[in-house]
Chain A
């Protein structure tokens, strides 16, 4: 696959559909010839991003919403955007992850498993998690 291709998926903002999202994106990653471990990283990251969106929806009493998952299949990477239409929040005001309460674990996992992660949230406009997984890690020689 040598050109950028886009695949969009919309799921109800409900827990029972998270598996649909993560398995679909994992199948897309497999098409790009990611190694098995990388496909698994992507699957976990997508699951966590959707779970975050659902938890916000539950807190905000709007389970009728949808989550939009956009996948951009690029020659050297898979770019995934997970968007919800919740109230949004100020990332700077987010509490530090606290493992003793089990809070913030999803974002820790996403950041550890993906090569790039960008969290954008605007009050009243929802939250977007943009994640990039590269097909081949940048070597030291390329980085210079």
Chain B
């Protein structure tokens, strides 16, 4: 399966997960594990970088909703960055874009967080 998941921290509370390739029922557990590890490590805000995501299914969407619930319990959020039009459409069809806001760039997604990621 063609999936790579990379993670990094932006300051104390924010983590970034980059999903590269295809994430589906087979590979979603790999992405889910990385997202939950960041939350376990203290991140309350997650940016999910979808700029290099070629395919994403409902299993991956369910994993995003699951990690959103965990961050929301701590007053945090999950935001999506840069999905292509096809993947953006899937979030619009399911109306998940209402709870997982979509931004074009990482800077836009962090605009209301002064001090995080050097954008404040």
* Residues of chain A at interface, number, CB under 8 A: 25
Q: Is A138 an interface residue (CB 8 A)?
A: no
Q: Is the CB of A48 within 8 A of B86?
A: no
Q: Name the residue of chain B whose CB is nearest to the CB of A101.
A: B65
State the Cβ distance, B72 to closest chain A Cβ, in Å: 10
Q: Is A80 an interface residue (CB 8 A)?
A: no
Query: What chain A residues lie within 8 Å of B105 (beta carbons)?
Result: none
Q: Is the CB of A109 within 8 A of B94?
A: yes
Q: Is the CB of A48 within 8 A of B22?
A: no
Q: Is the CB of B58 within 8 A of A48?
A: yes
* Residues of chain B at interface, number, CB under 8 A: 23
Q: Is the CB of B93 within 8 A of A15?
A: no
A34 to B99: give the CA distance in the assembly, Å. 33
Interface majority SS on A: helix, strand, loop or mixed? Answer: helix
Q: Is the CB of A108 within 8 A of B94?
A: yes
Q: Is B24 an interface residue (CB 8 A)?
A: yes
Query: What chain B residues lie within 8 Å of A100 (beta carbons)?
Result: 65, 69, 99
Q: Is the CB of B26 within 8 A of A37?
A: no
A51 to B63: give the CA distance in the assembly, Å. 14
Q: Is A18 an interface residue (CB 8 A)?
A: yes
Q: Is A132 an interface residue (CB 8 A)?
A: no
Q: Is the CB of A51 within 8 A of B65?
A: no
Q: Is the CB of A106 within 8 A of B95?
A: no
A11 to B63: give the CA distance in the assembly, Å. 25
Q: Is the CB of A47 within 8 A of B57?
A: yes
A109 to B93: give the CA distance in the assembly, Å. 7
Q: Is the CB of A51 within 8 A of B1?
A: no
Query: What chain B residues lie within 8 Å of A105 (beta carbons)?
Result: 58, 61-62, 94, 96
Q: Is the CB of B58 within 8 A of A37?
A: no
Q: Is the CB of B25 within 8 A of A99?
A: no
Mark interface residues in B4-36 (1 if CB within 8 Å of A CB, else 0): 000000000000000000101110000000000
**Chain A residues numbered 106-144 whose CB sits less than 8 Å from any CB in chain B:** 106, 108-109, 112-113
Binding site for A on B (CB under 8 A): 1, 22, 24-26, 55, 57-59, 61-66, 69, 86, 90, 93-96, 99
Lowest 4 CB-CB distances: which A-B pairs, in order?
Answer: A102-B62, A105-B58, A15-B26, A102-B65
Binding site for B on A (CB under 8 A): 15-16, 18-19, 37, 40, 43-44, 47-48, 50-51, 54-55, 99-103, 105-106, 108-109, 112-113
